[in-house]
Structure 1
Amino acid sequence: MERAKEKLTFVLPLTLAIILILLYLNFRSFSEVAIIVVTLPMAMIGGLWLMYLEGFNFSVAVGVGFIALAGVAVEIGVIMLVYLNQALTDLKEKATERAEQISDADYQDALLHGAGLRVRPVMMTVATIIIGLLPILYGTGTGSEVMSRIAAPMVGGMTSAVLLTLIVLPAIYSIVKKREINFFNQELSKS
């Protein structure tokens, strides 16, 4: 147990570092990486609550479950950011073609449209993970003690990841990218 905990103290930060590097290589933007990193703890909250409700202590198996949860939560967040970025790019292109500034209403509509396109895929992903892991979480038999501790962070975390992905992430994105829209409007008015 002590050796496994020592390895986890090395593996968890290494995993997060790899996730950060991959996010930066994908987006090439520190602000977008920061959006996902800042919202990632919210995905973990559901896992912590389910562990508390189930009476599980932190163990190697739970650590593995949290590593898997972080990967899936980041994946869902990346998909949401890609669609939000696409909606913002389309809005900028239309504004440039019309030579009109982007209004706050147009900005919010574009973000709602981008986020709305991801509701069904996010819900399907989360539902599939939860439904697939529930038998593992509440199963009995050989190895069920370890497997339930791996599944608990994933099941609980996926429930909070829905809120993260569909509500919190677009709201934070809207706040962060507002400065970019203001800069775009200023540049458009100069030309």
Structure 2
Amino acid sequence: GIMVLIVIALFNAIRQPLVIWLTVPLAIIGVTAGLLLTNQPFGFMALLGFLSLSGMLIKNAIVLVDEIDLQRGEGKSTYDAILDSGSSRLRPVSMAAATTILGMIPLFTDAFYIAMAVTIVGGLAVATVLTMVVVPVLYAILFKAKKDAPASA
């Protein structure tokens, strides 16, 4: 509840937070796969990992949406801003996810923290890839981005 209100206040709108928050369910794919592959229960530690994961995904989506908004504010068309932002934010978002995933690997050997680590690693690995596709698509749909007509010679 309060996280949603903070994101709405940050953008002072509804459409950008909607795009951002719709990325969180994407993590369920990776979380489910990770927990099933490692035979871990979705217990308290996995739930704690999912809450942490949600914050990471929200941050990644905010980085991308904010860059799109900045480029639109500089006069770019919505379509061009989405394309340019996706390519310029790919490396920072991927590197942040990779460092988190690598930092979780030592926890795989700990019986107490393994469910949390698997939840974060599985969810982050899948959701980061999906976020870089889904956020631009949702933004394009909600903001009615149109591809610029090719210049005639």
Task: Compute the TM-score of the two structures, normalised by the length of structure 2.
Answer: 0.88
Tell whether the 8 Å contact from 2:53 to 2:123 is kept in structure 1 after alignment.
yes
Query: Larger relative contact order (C-alpha < 8 A, sep ≥ 6)?
Result: 2
Q: Secondary structure at the match of 2:60?
A: helix
Q: Secondary structure at the match of 1:91?
A: coil
Q: Give the equivalent residue in structure 2 for 1:122.
A: 93
Task: Kindly state the Cα deviation for residue 136 of structure 1 after the two structures are TM-superposed.
Answer: 1.0
Q: Deviations over 1:31-51 (max 9, x none)?
A: 111112222100232112101
Tell whether the 8 Å contact from 1:69 to 1:158 is kept in structure 2 after alignment.
yes
> What residue ranges of structure 2 are gaps of 5+ in the alignment?
147-153
Query: In the TM superposition, what are the counterparts of 1:168-187 in structure 2 within 5 Å?
Result: 168-178=134-144
Task: Kindly state the Cα deviation for residue 64 of structure 1 after the two structures are TM-superposed.
Answer: 0.4
1:60 to 44, 68, 75: 44
Q: Which structure has the greater CA radius of gyration?
A: 1
> Are 1:134 and 2:115 an aligned pair?
no
Q: Give the equivalent residue in structure 1 for 2:151.
A: none
Task: Kindly state the Cα deviation for residue 161 of structure 1 after the two structures are TM-superposed.
Answer: 2.1
Query: In the TM superposition, what are the counterparts of 1:9-48 in structure 2 within 5 Å?
Result: 17-48=1-32
Tell whether the 8 Å contact from 2:78 to 2:143 is kept in structure 1 after alignment.
no
Tell whether the 8 Å contact from 1:136 to 1:148 is kept in structure 2 after alignment.
yes
Paired letter, 1:71: G
Paired letter, 1:162: T
Q: Which runs of 4+ in 1 moved over 2 A?
A: 106-110
Q: Secondary structure at the match of 2:112?
A: helix
What is the rounded CA distance, in whole Å, between the counterparts of 1:66 and 1:107 in structure 2? 32
Task: Kindly state the Cα deviation for residue 146 of structure 1 after the two structures are TM-superposed.
Answer: 1.6
Two-structure CA RMSD over aligned residues (Å): 1.6
What is the rounded CA distance, in whole Å, between the counterparts of 2:46 and 2:107 in structure 1? 14
Task: Kindly state the Cα deviation for residue 109 of structure 1 after the two structures are TM-superposed.
Answer: 2.5
Q: Give the equivalent residue in structure 2 for 1:148.
A: 114
More helix by share: 1
Q: Give the equivalent residue in structure 1 for 2:54.
A: 70
Tell whether the 8 Å contact from 2:57 to 2:128 is kept in structure 1 after alignment.
no
| Counterparts in 2 of 1:107 and 1:75: CA distance versus 1, 3 Å | closer
Q: Percent identity?
A: 27
> Are 1:164 and 2:117 an aligned pair?
no
Task: Compute the TM-score of the two structures, normalised by the length of structure 1.
Answer: 0.72
Q: Deviations over 1:128-152 (max 9, x none)?
A: 0111111212x1xxxx112111111
Q: How many residues align?
A: 146
